[in-house]
Structure 1
């Protein structure tokens, strides 16, 4: 049995991952801000055979929501898997950026993921192991104009993932960074993005996440960089 938390589960990569991992041996806690979309994903996952699917509506930037997630996860059974996928993006000249906007981006993309990990690590230690997958971006490694704050948030979580892996792998808890290139999701503004047909599909990213989740315990996948066929777009 397995219990999986997916943040940002109502659409895009999160939704595709829930559908990819759904099976009779896997229960879920799905988190996002949109109640209607979450319920739609929950219904599909149940139809695919998962025995229990709980939803926690709200932003993981809110510590109270993270505490609720931790409580619900503690009530499920099986191997613990955390998929930190909630995120936001905005691009533009740094000197023109609104402080509140980029502060919120750092909170959503970096601090919130660390908050989720901080809450669930005690459960993993008690269970004797677990797996954390942080969905990042190639922007954590590559330089893009207008992406200073977004890149900083992703690079920060990438480095934290490496540190946490070093700290907890001997206790059976592994951390993986997934750095996808351009993915066809609603985060892009039409007219301000590469051709969508050249991007990765959400299903392709979900399949990569599933491979990490199903990795045998005698090895650790520390990082995967996943790009479209034409490379960095």
Structure 2
């Protein structure tokens, strides 16, 4: 029997578009109260309208996840209004392309500080509340690039490999607190950031959609608390 998500409280980073937005809408339909973090106030315009139409309870907060002080303030504001969180989805991330030799150090800093330290900052802010409740779910969004490096993606792949290692270690530390830590490694997901990339750019429906990943996340969260999926990869069936 699957557990209900009704009345739970979730925080999603990068929650204003793409995978974050799709997941927020899917969780709202399950009766989950939402805290959303994104880098700009303007980016929330669309999802605010959709969540309001659904009658969802939600709060938005502006923060750059690479900045610890901004993250702590945002999480505090969200928890002050919603209470301690039950679910954390670390989705915020940036990408970059360029050969190892050509990619400037500033780009490495941006990718690693967002994709890796962003997960660290947000999780550190949320985890004490979960430990206090002796229960929780943390889902970190990595990538197929975290399983296999490719030419021209050294910084992005390094960051996503790091998210997998971080998740594995954290999972081992907090299992005794009934906190489930999972990491997802999707292949290319059709979002604003990826649309038009790749050889299949004229047939975007062949790519996995953000809504598909959101449905998977819902199913995983509904598993009975005694069980969790540590790692999972999501692929397009026929993206050729």
TM-score (normalizing by structure 1): 0.92
8 Å contact kept, 1:90–1:147: yes
Match of 1:82 among 84, 88, 93: 88
CA distance in structure 2 between the partners assigned to 1:74 and 1:53 by the alignment:
11
CA distance in structure 2 between the partners assigned to 1:34 and 1:79 by the alignment:
22
Matched, 1:58 2:66: no
Deviation at 1:79, TM superposition (A): 5.5
Alignment of 1:101-120 (within 5 A): 101-120=107-126
Query: Per-residue displacement from partner, 1:67-113 (whole Å, max 9, x unpaired)?
Result: 12321342214751000000011112110101101211011111111
Match of 2:222 among 209, 214, 219: 214
CA distance in structure 1 between the partners assigned to 2:155 and 2:17 by the alignment:
23
Inter-CA distance 210–189: structure 2 relative to 1 (3 Å threshold):
closer
Q: Which moved more, 1:175-184 or 1:67-76?
A: 67-76
Match of 1:68 among 50, 70, 73: 73
SS in 1 for 2:228: coil
Structure 1 gaps of 5+ residues are none
Inter-CA distance 201–23: structure 2 relative to 1 (3 Å threshold):
closer
SS in 2 for 1:22: helix
1:156 aligns with 162
Match of 2:208 among 200, 211, 224: 200
Alignment of 1:8-157 (within 5 A): 8-23=14-29, 25-50=31-56, 52-75=57-80, 76-77=82-83, 80-157=86-163
CA distance in structure 2 between the partners assigned to 1:209 and 1:9 by the alignment:
14
TM-score (normalizing by structure 2): 0.90
SS in 2 for 1:100: helix
Structure 2 gaps of 5+ residues are 1-6
Match of 1:168 among 157, 167, 174: 174
How many aligned positions are there?
A: 230
Match of 1:2 among 2, 8, 14: 8
